[in-house]
Amino acid sequence: MASQYLEVVGRDSQIVRRRFLVLFSIFYVPTYGLQRGREPPWVLELSVSWSMLHFSQKLSTKAANKELERIDAVFNSYANASSGLIDPEGIERLCSDLEVDHTDVRVLMLAWKMKAEKQGYFTLEEWRVGLKALRVDNVSKLKKALPELEKEVRRPSNFVDFYSYAFRYCLTEEKQKSIDIDSICELLNIVLGSQYHSQVDLFTQYLKIQNDYKVINMDQWMGFYRFCDEISFPDLSNYNPELAWPLILDNFVEWIREKQSQS
């Protein structure tokens, strides 16, 4: 009985467990003792189970603290001593140790996992969040975790969030809401190039030759992913300009159809 109870309350707060012990000590134990002339057999079981649970929690806390120390040590090996941040130089060294290029999409995925807010920088708290979520505490384990991280991000339920994050992560100035065309073309190749190579290739071509847009905003950015995900390509048979597409995509589709008619 006691072990079954503790298995449940082990997931709750210490306050709940203390209340259980107090209530049973006050009401049940004295009554049982008066009736039977001895303590109930589960009292000893409860005491032993509680001690084992407490000991297990202490071990778990100690292990978690050790893990955090290792995570922090790795952070400090890449962090700038004066700023207390992993800066672009530190990220470059990290990429070298992970054997990935700094333009590799997995670096951006790592930033997403850390919930990093400023492009090219990781804070200690962001580093902790990311490595704890990945369950790694050194660079070797982090390197091995990258393929699984990519699989996680590629899941449809996660990819839209990652794609949106990639745009926000590149907003480097306060109150900035759009990104220049050259940077957008680079970002599209990194984030979508492997999945939608043909669409990205044509769209970046179009962006570089058109003169109507100097920057791309979030609505246009998200609209292009929807375009890649929903529209039959290259025939564009299900593209309906009457639907709520950003104007830049209407223009892009018109440009593609003109190219197709000329070939």
Structure tokens at 79: 């962090």
Which pLDDT score is estimated for 133?
A: 97
Contacting residues for 193 by C-beta, under 8 A, at least 6 apart: 200
pLDDT in tens, 209-219: 999 999 999 99
Structure tokens at 95: 């990429």
Cα dihedral across residues 228, 229, 235, 236: positive or negative: negative
Distance CA 123, CA 145 (A): 20
Which pLDDT score is estimated for 65?
A: 82
Structure tokens at 249: 């995509």
Residue type, 46: L
Which pLDDT score is estimated for 99?
A: 97
Q: At what angle do helices 105-114 and 181-191 cross, to 10 degrees?
A: 90
pLDDT in tens, 60-116: 677 678 999 999 999 999 999 999 999 999 999 999 999 999 999 999 999 999 999
Distance CA 128, CA 122 (A): 10
DSSP tag of 178 = E
Lowest mean pLDDT among 39-43, 47-51, 62-66, 189-193: 39-43
Distance CA 45, CA 35 (A): 20
pTM, whole model, 2 decimals? 0.77
CB 210 within 8 A of CB 251: yes
Q: Which residue has the tokens 């100097």?
A: 214
pLDDT in tens, 13-43: 555 555 555 555 544 545 544 444 455 555 5
Q: Which residue has the tokens 């995570």?
A: 71
Q: Which has the higher per-residue pLDDT, 157 or 58?
A: 157
Beta bridge partners of 85: 80
pLDDT in tens, 113-154: 999 999 999 999 999 999 999 999 999 999 999 999 999 999
CB 263 within 8 A of CB 227: no
pLDDT in tens, 196-213: 999 999 999 999 999 999
CB 99 within 8 A of CB 105: no
- The percent of residues above 90 in pLDDT, for the chain, comes to 74
Which pLDDT score is estimated for 190?
A: 97
Which pLDDT score is estimated for 263?
A: 76
* Dihedral-angle region of residue 86 (phi above 0 means left; psi in -120 to 50 means alpha; beta otherwise): beta
* pLDDT band (50, 70, 90) for residue 2: very low
CB 6 within 8 A of CB 53: yes
Structure tokens at 35: 């009736």
Distance CA 42, CA 20 (A): 14
* pLDDT band (50, 70, 90) for residue 227: very high
**Neighbouring C-beta atoms of residue 98, cutoff 10 Å:** 17
